[in-house]
Each structure stands twice: as C-alpha cells, then as structure tokens.
Chain A
C-alpha cells in the first residue's frame, strides 16, 4: 500500500520514456529501408484483393447533373510552363497531336478533331484526391480501348504509359515531367476515357487541355493531364524513377484504388 506512490512514479516514468522512445523510433522505422519494403508489399495485397472483388468491368458510380461540384478544384499543374505548350495553346491546339506508339501495330498521330470523330462517352463521376477531397465532374471523351484497338497491340503489351506536357517539379534534366501508367485491365475498362470535354465545354487548361486521362476506379494522381503521347510497353521500369508515374516515383502507390 505505501509502496504505491513510488510504484506509480516509476510507472509514469516508464510510460513517458516509452512514449518518447516510440516517437523518435517511429521516424527511424519509417526511414528504414527494410521496414519500408515490408510496408510496400501491402500494395500487392490491396491490388490482389481489389482485383479479386472487382469484376473487371464493374463501373464506378455515375452521378447526375444535380450532383456536380459547384467548383471543381484544379490540382497539380494548372498551366504547363513550356514554350511548346504556350505555342499549342495559342493555336487553339490545332497543331497538337496525340502520338500513340510503342508496342503497337499501327502507330497513330491524332488531332483533337480526329479524336472527336470516334464514338464518345460522357460520364459524371467523382474525382477522389489522394489528399482526401472529392469533386464531381462531367467528362466527355473517347474510350481508350478504341484508340488501343485502332493502333492494335503487339504481343507483350502490358502497360499503357501516358506522357504529359507539364513539369510538376522544376528540374533541368526533365525528371520533373508528369507521367502515369495503367495496366491493360484498367486501359480497357469502359469508363477509362481520354477526355477532351468537361462539364459540357472544352477541357479547361487548368484541368489538362486539350486531353486528359480518366481512370475512374483510381485516385486523382492517376488522371494524367496535358496528354502528348501514349506509349504501350511491357514494363515501365526504365522510365524516370521506374515506379510508373510522377507521384509513384515520389512515394505513392502505383495501384491507386485505395
């Protein structure tokens, strides 16, 4: 009974010591390569789990005009900072072409007018940012599947790479260039479109004019803007940081279904 105060003091000391240790320890753990490698395996589990649950064609929820966000937040690059983009924008993207190459039978070079001649799809969907905010917008564009079919995939094709016009990070060697990649399951999903229209108008510059990707079952950073070139590849390891995307090279998961 009379031992209680000292015991309590001892315990309090122990607890606060453990707390301090835990706090500094957490950062050391977070920076430990081995620990990080284990944590990164979670992504494989999530991908396998979601792919097992999601039928390949399960559609993202589509909304009505009444659900549209009054203001759709523009994120990432809002105006690409290059002379080439400025020239294209000035010409109202008349000179812009989407290159489709890589592991394809018939490489393509498509103008906006040509893209608009493909059957289009319009969808009102929710855009979920990795940070936690959501906005609902209406997108019009050509299903990526049609473009890939027009080009014809070669054997060995596994991923579709999206090369963008914007540098999200200033770097002299070009390593700040935005890019993204998805696999063929998402590439051929009916809601995966190359959007040239937003909320009933041409895609605004802040949202990726003249063309952006919509992959509706994944987070916002997969929705690459300012598309210039689509490259079909068997692996994305040789490009930039090798993780398949600008944000992936900086620590986000390649599979952004969560």
Chain B
C-alpha cells in the first residue's frame, strides 16, 4: 500500500488524468450535515445574544456579580472613554471595538459581543432565547436521526472508526506532516477518511456535540429537578454554563479547521460530495 505522500514525490504527468466518481456520503449524512450547519450557525449567534445578558462565567454551584468570574467580558470607564476588556483567569486583555465596547448603528455601545455576532443584532434576550431553543430542539432531533442512522447502517463503524494501521504512531505522525504541508490522499487512499479526520469527527460527534446538549440541558431549572445528576456531573449550573461556552468555542475552532481543510483539499469536489454524494477520485499515475 502506498502512503499518500509518496505520490507527490513523482513528477506531474499530464494529461494522464483518470478521474472516477465514488459515492461518498449517504443521503442521511448529507441532509443531517446541512441541517447541522443551519442549527449550529443560529445556535452560536443566538447563544452569544444570551451570553451578552450576563457576560460572566463561573465555576461552582452559584455565580453572580459579586462572585469571582473565571471568564468575563466587561467595560472599564476611564476619564476619556469606555474600554472593553476580556478577562480569562488572571489574564486581562483590552478588546475595545470588539468585546465589551463596540459599534452598534455606528455609535459606541457597551455590549459583550458585537452586534454583527448576535441574533438579533440589537439587545433582545427574549428573542435570542426563542431562536436558541428552536434550533436546539432541531439540533437534538437532527442529531438523534444522525446517530440512529450511523449506528444502524454501520456508518460509524465503517467510516469513522480508525483501523489499527491508521492508529500506529508512525502513521499518525506522517498524517500530521501531510496535513501541515496540505498534502492530501489520492487514489484508493482518498476513498476513506484519514485518521486525523476520523478522530476529529469522532470527537465532535461523540464528545463536543453531546457535551453541548448536556451542559445546555443542565442550565434548565426544570430538568435539574428531573435529573439531579446533571448539575453534579459538571459541578453546578454555573460550571455547566462555562463548559457550554468553552465547548462552543471548541466547535467554532473545529469548523474553522474543517472549512480550511475543505478549501485546501478541493472545494468543489468536497461540496459536490456533500450535496450529491458524488466524490471524484484521481487515480495514481497522475498529478494535478
């Protein structure tokens, strides 16, 4: 078996290009993927609207203004102007113009996240909550369909579980180097996800997204009464809120890397495969 990087050591031989299409993504995966994009976009922006109502995060069973915040976005008044800041632990960063103080309708406004990152753009906690809960339900149902399908049809076992060879340290290291150089698999090797892809998808599907849902539910006083273990699991409602926020940040980081990789490894091919299911593979012996 040839490793993907060895293919790049041969000089390009044009135009001996042999492209063929394989069926990459099932209908359910494609539908749930795009619904997920919609849900996560609205959840993020409405979530930041909700966060703005109290832009402080705590660890523990209680947390309000007079308690110590782990993360806070706020405003300090100087003689001349108001300055926005982000505080993480003991770190204090001036973020005027972006966090704490930013322009809303071209006038300086004190708000944690700027208006171009919240739904609605103006302060309206009630509306933010309606958008958030609507898409939270949709995300939950969408996730349930995706998980049921993935287990039932073997998508997780077949496509997402790395096989032994892929988990070998030498192989993983090679993949890290290939990714850093933006070299991607070709030919037969491109039929499957590489190990780093599989691992990140597994972390998102079985780690970050369930954590997001669970920490979200933990903030509900109703569900706290039904499931006492929920706040215990995360160390209290304020802790769950903090983890909810950090996990959202991790999801955003994942999406950024994901989109960069999609762009770098062939935008049209990747988009086509996630829309129609058809993924083009260029066979060995050709390059570019």
Residue of B61, B62, B116, B121 contacting most chain A CB atoms (<10 Å): B62
Neighbouring B residues of A39 by C-beta, 8 Å: 130-131, 134
Interface string of A30-41 (1 = CB under 8 A from B): 110000101110
- Select the stretch in A86-94, A123-131, A176-184 that faces chain B: A123-131
Contact mask B47-61 → A, CB, 8 Å, 1/0?
Answer: 000110110100001
Contact B133 A42 (CB under 8 A): yes
- A229-258 interface (Cβ within 8 A of B): 247, 250-253, 256-258
Judge if A169 is at the interface, Cβ distance under 8 Å: no
Nearest CB in chain B: distance from A222 CB, A: 9
Bound CA–CA A130/B54 (angstroms):
9
Within the assembled complex, what's the spacing in Å between the Cα atoms of A40 and B130? Answer: 7
The answer to whether A30 touches B54, judged by C-beta atoms less than 8 angstroms apart, is no
Q: Which label, helix, strand, loop or mixed, suits the secondary structure of the A interface? A: loop
Interface residues of B in 216-234 (CB under 8 A from A): 219-226, 228, 231
**How distant is B288 from chain A, measured CB to nearest CB, in Å?**
7
Chain A residues within 8 Å of B187, by CB: none
Chain B contacts for A150, CB-based, 8 A = none
Interface pair B64/A54, CB less than 8 Å apart: no
Q: Which of B120, B219, B225, B267 contacts A61 (CB 8 A)?
A: B225
Which of these, B124, B221, B288, contacts A216 with CB under 8 Å? B221
Interface centre among B67, B130, B133, B236 (most CB of A within 10 A): B130
**What is the 8 Å Cβ interface bit string for chain A, positions 92-121, against chain B (1 contact, 0 not)?**
000000000000000000000000000000
Please judge, given known A-B contacts A26-B119, A46-B133, A252-B129, whether A61 and B63 are in contact too, CB under 8 Å.
no
On whether the beta carbons of A128 and B125 are closer than 8 Å, the reply is no
Among A27, A40, A132, A252, find the residue whose CB has the most chain B CB atoms closer than 10 A.
Answer: A132
A50 within 8 A of B: yes
Taking a contact as CB atoms under 8 Å apart, the answer to whether A136 and B62 are in contact is yes
A36-B130, A131-B125, A252-B126 given as contacts; is B223 within 8 A of A53 (CB)?
yes
Does A70 contact B67, Cβ atoms closer than 8 Å? yes
A132, B221: Cβ atoms under 8 Å?
no
Number of A-B pairs whose CB atoms are under 8 Å?
141
CB distance from A35 to the nearest CB of B (A): 9
Q: Is B106 an interface residue (CB 8 A)?
A: no
Closest Cβ neighbor of B140 among chain A residues: A49
With both chains docked as a complex, state the minimum distance between the C-beta of A81 and any C-beta of chain B, in angstroms. 23
Interchain CB contact under 8 A, B64 and A60: no
- Which of A26, A43, A59, A251 contacts B225, CB < 8 Å? A59
Residues of B within 8 A of A55 (CB): 226
Cβ contact of A11, chosen from B51, B267, B288, cutoff 8 A:
B267
Cβ < 8 Å to B, chain A residues 37-76 = 38-40, 42-43, 45-46, 50, 53-55, 58-61, 63, 67, 69-73
Given contacts A30-B131, A42-B130, A46-B133, contact A67 B61 (CB under 8 A): yes
Query: Is A172 close to B, CB under 8 A?
Result: no
Query: Cβ of B243 < 8 Å from any Cβ of A?
Result: no
A21 within 8 A of B: no
Check if A69 sits within 8 Å of B127, measured CB to CB: no
Tell me if A219 counts as interface (CB < 8 A to partner B).
yes
A218 interfacial contact with B, CB 8 Å: yes
Question: B220 to chain A: closest CB distance in Å?
Answer: 4
Residues of B within 8 A of A77 (CB): none
Contacts of A136 in B (CB 8 A): 61-62
Contact between chains at A132 and B134 (CB < 8 Å): no
14 more contacts with CB within 8 A, not counting A31-B120, A70-B66, A131-B125, are A26-B120, A36-B127, A42-B133, A42-B134, A43-B133, A54-B223, A54-B225, A60-B225, A71-B66, A130-B53, A133-B56, A250-B126, A252-B125, A257-B220
